[in-house]
Amino acid sequence: MTNQRGNTLLEALIAVAILGTVAVVFLGGIFSGLIGGVEIEEHFIAENLARTQLEDIKSQPYNVSNQYPVTVSPPPGYTVLINVTDISPSEYPNSLQKTAVMVSREGQKIITVETLKVNR
């Protein structure tokens, strides 16, 4: 009978170890899913900010000074930067701009979206 008690204790310890391992793997999966969800939300917000800003720039008249104001209101922690470069051919000065909108969060770049703007 003493031998059976030892086996029962050993079986219980092995079962607890297996359950602990399963719990760690399960919680690790949940944690990874939460991190992924936060990153997806961050990218979604950044992309919407960049595209909204680009659409606003497209709707404004062509600006030969290559400067457009930031018109979107980013949530706290987000920053929107606009970089406009004149890429006009020499025979048609002030006719073509490359506009890039970069969105960052807490100093980390999330997305840059570019488009061209033509002076018509």
Q: What is the mean pLDDT of residues 86-112?
A: 94
Q: How far apart are CA 15 and CA 26, in angstroms?
A: 16
pLDDT for 45-79, tens place per residue? 999 999 999 999 999 999 999 999 999 999 999 99
Tell me the whole-structure pTM to 2 decimals.
Answer: 0.72
Q: At which residue do the structure tokens 């000074």 appear?
A: 65
Per-domain boundaries in the chain: 2-118
Residue 111 and residue 52 in contact, taking contact as beta carbons nearer than 8 Å: no
Radius of gyration of the chain measured on its C-alpha atoms = 28
What is the structure's pLDDT at 4?
A: 58
Q: How far apart are CA 76 and CA 90, in angstroms?
A: 42
